[in-house]
Amino acid sequence: MDLQPELKESATKAFRENSRLVKMTLREREEAALWYDQIARRMVGTQATLARLYNIERAKFLRGEVSRIAATAVLFDAEME
């Protein structure tokens, strides 16, 4: 499953500026959340754990399970420490 470029762009904007999440419909948010959940399962490499956790957190944010998300994985990692 690929995420439509426009939808990925909307989600990315919401990650960078959390208040923009309201500009996405519930359907768009769920579709993007499913994609980030799938991506999280496929992470490999030296930063796989961080990438996996960050993508799971992105999905939670899109679903409204957490109220905010860091703009980048690096910032997310710094907040976890």
Q: What is the pLDDT of residues 45-73, one digit of tens each?
A: 989 999 999 999 999 999 999 999 999 99
Name the pTM for this structure: 0.93
1 has pLDDT over 90: no
Whether residue 15 contacts residue 58, with contact meaning beta carbons closer than 8 Å, is answered with: yes
pLDDT band for position 81 (cuts 50, 70, 90): confident
Instruction: Give phi and psi for 40, each to the nearest 5.
Output: -60, -35
Q: How far apart are CA 3 and CA 62, in angstroms?
A: 14
Q: Which helix (H) or strand (E) holds 77?
A: helix 73-80
Q: What is the pLDDT of residues 13-54, one digit of tens each?
A: 999 999 999 999 999 999 999 999 999 999 899 899 999 999
